[in-house]
A and B are shown apart, each in its own frame.
Chain A
C-alpha cells in the first residue's frame, strides 16, 4: 500500500510566555488509501494541533517549525498559499468536533456545501445545488431538498455533523481528517455517524486520519492506532496489536480506564494526574511524571522506538527485553 498521507518529523510550536514550546514534537506517521489511522490520546496531548498542522490550519501565533507533510507525494509545507488553498477541500478535507459552531450561522447549510464545490470546480449554481442535495441524500439527511435551505440553528447536532461530512466529501478527497467527529454528539447519534463514515470511506476508498480520545470510537473504525502523549507518538500498531497487546505503560493505562462488561464490579482504574501543560514537559520520556514503571533514566533520556512487529512499535525503557 502506498501512503496517501505521510507525515515526517512534524514540529509545531506555540509561544508560551517568552519562549516557544513545541506542542507537537517530532511526530511521524503514514495513512494509506482506504485505511483509517486513529490518533489517540488525552486532551492536551497535541492531537488536534497535529490534525490542523496537516492542512496548515494552525492559527497564529502557532507555527510549523520542522518536518514534511506529503500528500500524494507532494510536500504541503512547500506549497504556495494559493496552491495550499486548492488542496484543502479538494484533495484533503476536514471535519471538526463542534458541529454546533463549525457552520456559518447566517448562511443556509446548503449554500455552504455548494460553496465547497464551487470553490474548486467551475460549475453553475444550479448544478452545485443539485449535487449538494445529492450529497445530503447520500449522508442520509431526510428531506434533502428542504434541508438545503435550512440554517444551522434549525438543525440538530447530528444533522449538522452530516452536513459537515457532506461538505468534506463533496469533491471525493483522498484524505479525510476527522477531529473528534462524534465527541459532541449523543451516543445513539455517534453510532450512526461512525457507521456513515465507515460506509463512505469504503465507497470512496478514502484515507482517514481520525483524531479521538474515545477508544470505543477507535474500536469501531480504526485499522491502525497511534497513541500520542504530550506532543509525541509513544506507541503505534494495528488495532489488534494496540487493543490487545499494548506495550507502553501509557497505552495500557488508557485501556484499563475503559469500563468493560468483563470486569464488572471491579474498581475502574485511571492514570493518576493529567497531561502537564507544554511548558512543564520533562526532558526525557514525557510520561515519566505519571508512569507507574518509571526508571531513573526515563527522566533524562528519550527512549527510541522499539519494534515488536513490522507494524507495532513503542517508545519505552521499561518494556522487558524478552518482549521483543
Chain B
C-alpha cells in the first residue's frame, strides 16, 4: 500500500474515533460539564490546540493529481502525492538558497527569486519555504505525542491495573520491572533505545513510549489499589461478578480521567524531548526540533539568518504553551484531589 493512502486511512480512523469518543463523552454529565468548564476557562488555548490538530489532519490527507504511469508526461509534482496543506502552496515553491521573509532577491548574492515577495517566512538553506516546512512540522509534533501515547497508555493501563487489582506475585513482578526501568535515567535510556532501534518516527516514538510509561503506570496502579477496596467493587466481588467484568465495568471507567490528564500533560514533554533528540541527530525528520537544530549555526552567519529559528521555535512554543494551559485546566477539572472545597 502506498504510504499516503495509509496516512489517509489513519487520519480518517482518527476523526471517526474522536467523533465516537466525543459522542460517548457527551452522554455523561461529568465529561460534558468538564468539557464546558475547560472551554470556558481556556478558550484561546483550546482554540490554538484545535487549530494545530486541524492542520495536522489536513496535512495527513493526500492524493496524486496526474496519471501515475507517467505516460501523460506529468511533472514530478503531478506524480507525487500532495497533502491539503501542500496544496496551499505552488507545486514547486523553491528557491536556490536563503531568502529573507517577503524578499525579492536571494539573501546572499542577491540573485532574483522565482517567487519574489511570496515567501512569508523566507526560505531555508536549500531554498525551501519556511512557512510550508513549519506547517508540515505540526503533523510531526502531533505524531510524536499521539503515537507515543498510543504506546504508553495501553501499556500503563494493562500493567498498572493488573498490578493493582490482582496484587501478589504479578504486582511484585510488575513493580520490579517498573523500578528497574525507572532506575535508568530517562534521557540515557531514550538515547540507548533510539541508538539500538535505529532512526525513524516509529522507533523514536516507541523509545519515548518505553521511557515514559512507568510514571503513569504507577499512578494507575495506585488508583486501582484504592478502587479495589471500595465498597461497591468489594460487593461486586462478593456477588461473584467475574474479574474481567469488574475490571471493564468498575475499574477502567474510573481511571479514564487519569488517562486524559496524563495524555495532555505527557504531550508537551514528549514534543520537547524530541527536540533534544533532534539536536543529538537521532530525532524525527521534518520536526521542529530538527529545524531548530539546523538553524542554530545560522545565527553566527553575517548578516544573521533568523527566520528559520524563529518560525520553528515559535510554532513549537505556541503548541506547547497552548497544550500546557489546556493541560492545567484539564487537571484542575478532572483531578478530584485538586478540587477546592466549598464553604
Contact = CB atoms under 8 A, between A and B. Distances in A.
A/B: CB atoms within 8 Å of each other? yes
Interface string B312-343: 00000000000000000000000000000011
Interface residues of A, number: 6
Nearest to A44: B343
A62 B343 CA distance: 9
Nearest to A62: B343
A277 interface: yes
A277 B343 CA distance: 9
- The 6 nearest A-B residue pairs measured at CB: A14-B343, A23-B343, A49-B343, A278-B343, A62-B343, A277-B342
Contacts of A277: 342
Interface string A20-33: 00010000000000
A14 B343 CA distance: 8
Contacts of A23: 343
A50 to B, nearest CB: 12
Contacts of A49: 343
Nearest to B341: A59
6 contacts: A14-B343, A23-B343, A49-B343, A62-B343, A277-B342, A278-B343
Contacts of B343: 14, 23, 49, 62, 278
A14 B342 CA distance: 9
Interface in B281-340: none
> Which secondary structure characterizes the binding site on chain A?
mixed
A23 B343 CA distance: 8
Interface in A38-68: 49, 62
A49 B342 CA distance: 12
A19 B290 CA distance: 49
A3 to B, nearest CB: 27
Nearest to A12: B343
Contacts of B342: 277
A277 B342 CA distance: 9
Interface in B186-240: none
Nearest to B342: A277
B337 to A, nearest CB: 15
A86 B343 CA distance: 27
A53 B91 CA distance: 71
A14 B340 CA distance: 13
A310 to B, nearest CB: 34
Nearest to A24: B343
B214 to A, nearest CB: 29
A62 B340 CA distance: 13
Nearest to A58: B343
Interface in A277-310: 277-278
A25 B172 CA distance: 57
A128 B343 CA distance: 37
B66 to A, nearest CB: 59
Contacts of A14: 343
A255 B342 CA distance: 27
Nearest to A21: B343
Nearest to B340: A61
Interface string A173-208: 000000000000000000000000000000000000
B87 to A, nearest CB: 46
Nearest to A15: B343
A179 to B, nearest CB: 14
A49 B341 CA distance: 13
B94 to A, nearest CB: 54
Interface string A260-288: 00000000000000000110000000000
A199 to B, nearest CB: 34
A178 to B, nearest CB: 20
A192 to B, nearest CB: 30
A264 to B, nearest CB: 31
Interface in A120-175: none
Contacts of A62: 343
A62 B341 CA distance: 12
A18 to B, nearest CB: 12
A16 to B, nearest CB: 8
Nearest to A277: B342
A278 B343 CA distance: 9
Contacts of A278: 343
B340 to A, nearest CB: 10
A20 to B, nearest CB: 11
Nearest to A278: B343
Interface in B156-187: none
B163 to A, nearest CB: 27
A49 B343 CA distance: 8
A288 B342 CA distance: 23
A95 B292 CA distance: 60
B332 to A, nearest CB: 16
A110 B342 CA distance: 33
A23 B342 CA distance: 11
Nearest to A13: B343
B339 to A, nearest CB: 15
B201 to A, nearest CB: 46
Interface in A54-90: 62
A204 B83 CA distance: 85
